[in-house]
Amino acid sequence: MAQGLKVLSAALPQDVKLETRSYDLGAQRWHATGDTLPDAELESLKDHDAILLGAIGDPSVPSGVLERGLLLKLRFAFDHYVNLRPSKLFPNTPTPLAGRPDIDFVVVREGTEGPYVGNGGSMRTGTPDEVATEVSLNTAHGVERVVRDAYERAKARPRKKLTLVHKNNVLVHAGHLWKNIFDRVGQEYPEVTTDYLHVDAATIFFVTQPERFDVIVTDNLFGDILTDLAAAVTGGIGLAASGNINPSGAFPSMFEPVHGSAPDIAGTGKADPTATVLSVALLLSHLGYGDEAARIETAVASDLAERDAAAPRTTDEIGDALAARVSG
């Protein structure tokens, strides 16, 4: 987080005064007080132009507590319906794929619906007769706004290609809602080439032919799965940035690395801040600082190109190097 703010300051024009407020949220706070995200803090977060979220989570906190109580709470409370996750294979970065395909796509993951709505339950819990449910809720309103956003993004890119990923041969009701809206909205974007893939088939192409993708739009859960895979083939989640965006501006958008908090290396100076720095670029781009965002991306690309795996740098050194490139 410190490196992200460092690069943010370095990137902003001189005449822009950056005001930040830091919120102590996450595993330590929960252990100390039992709080995940109290209402007063949620309320005060609304007064900001954007939120930069540090990686959260720790194995000492029961699974689901921080995810539902903090991360998903923010995404839902601030109606972050566009979960934006670009994937690009930078030069000189490791990829598990042979032949280093040319990867440069962005996943527009729906962020406020699907199986993430928390609409589930269990009865006879803990007995041999337990039944547990999870309900995926999907609305025309929710699907159309994210599909439209994805078409706009596809239209603005050179290749103008949009792929819908779902599983409409099994999840027929949600799947047909998505497919029908995707097809209907597509009529307004004749310049965009479209394609449909089942989620299982999409994972195949992520490893055999990732260069075929330009923009992908998909459901919350499929987007979760696909973007971790996308990160893995483009250098690892240490490089994957994301934006939780409310395009209407009614609430602040939130930017965060896709990776977790890596508590095993906390404080050792070994964490790579690049994903947080790239999240800062998404933040700047969202707030209208497109040139500044591009400068950060160029700085990251150059830094990665010159990295020497045999001479690892500390978190701070990487942050300093990126800040220097951005301001210089």
Ligand X SMILES: CC(C)[C@H](C(=O)O)[C@@H](O)C(=O)O
The identity of residue 111, as a single letter, is: G
DSSP output for 266-302: TTTT---THHHHHHHHHHHHHTT-HHHHHHHHHHHHH
Which of 23, 73, 155, 228 is an active site residue? 228
Give the C-alpha separation, 241 to 257, whole Å.
5
Q: Supply 283's token pair.
A: 């933040």
- Nearer Cβ to a copy of itself, position 219 or 297? 219
Q: Rule CB under 8 A: is residue 265 a binding residue for a copy of itself?
A: no
Q: Tell which one of 71, 84, 162, 174 touches ligand X (CB under 6 A).
A: 71
Q: Does 173 bind a copy of itself (CB under 8 A)?
A: yes
Walk across the sheet containing 50-52 and list its strands: 50-52, 253-257, 241-245, 82-88, 104-110, 215-218, 161-166, 193-198
If the CB atoms of residues 71 and 164 are measured against ligand X, the closer one turns out to be 71
Choice between 222 and 289, CB closer to a copy of itself:
222
* CB atoms inside a 10 Å sphere around CB 270: 13
Contact letters for a copy of itself, residues 120-159 (x by CB under 8 A): xxx-x-xxxxxxxxxxxxxxxx--x---------------
Q: Does 200 bind ligand X (CB under 6 A)?
A: yes
* Rounded-to-integer distance, Cα 74 and Cα 25, Å: 12
289 is an active site residue = no
What part of residues 277-306 is at the interface with ligand X (CB under 6 A)?
none
Smallest separation (angstroms) from ligand X to the CB of 72: 6
Using CA atoms, how far residue 96 sits from 45, 66, 70, 93, in Å, is 39, 31, 33, 10
Determine contact, residues 280/52, Cβ cutoff 8 Å: yes
- Which residue number, 6 or 166, has a Cβ lying nearer to a copy of itself? 166
Answer yes or no: are the C-beta atoms of 10 and 327 closer than 8 Å.
yes
Choosing from 24, 35, 183, 200, the catalytic residue is: 200
* 204 binds ligand X, rule: CB under 6 A: no
Q: Please identify, among the stretches 103-111, 116-124, 150-158, 291-299, the one whose residues bind a copy of itself according to the rule CB under 8 A.
A: 116-124
Partner interacting with residue 46 (select from ligand X, a copy of itself, none; CB below 5-8 Å by kind): none
Taking Cα atoms as reference points, which of 288, 282, 279 lies closest to residue 259?
279
Q: Which residue has the tokens 């890596």?
A: 262
Is residue 235 a contact point for a copy of itself (CB under 8 A)?
Answer: no
Could you tell which of ligand X, a copy of itself, none binds residue 236, using a CB distance below 5 to 8 A set by kind?
Answer: a copy of itself
The CA–CA distances, whole Å, from 248 to 76, 174, 187, 232, 288 equal 14, 25, 23, 31, 14
Cβ neighbors of 26 (< 8 A, separation 6 or more) are: 54, 56, 57, 58, 66, 70, 261
> Rule CB under 8 A: which of 211-230 touch a copy of itself?
221, 224-229
Q: Which residue has its beta carbon closest to ligand X?
A: 67
**Quick one: 11 or 239, whose CB is closer to ligand X?**
239
Q: Rounded CA gap, 305 and 293, in Å?
A: 18
Among residues 149, 224, 272, 303, the one annotated as catalytic is 224
The H or E element spanning position 41 is helix 39-45
Active site residues: 116, 167, 200, 224, 228
Binding region for ligand X (CB under 6 A) = 67, 71-72, 169-170, 200, 224, 258
Binding site for a copy of itself (CB under 8 A): 63-64, 67-68, 72, 95-99, 115-116, 118, 120-122, 124, 126-141, 144, 167-177, 179-180, 199-201, 203-204, 206-208, 221, 224-229, 231-233, 236-237
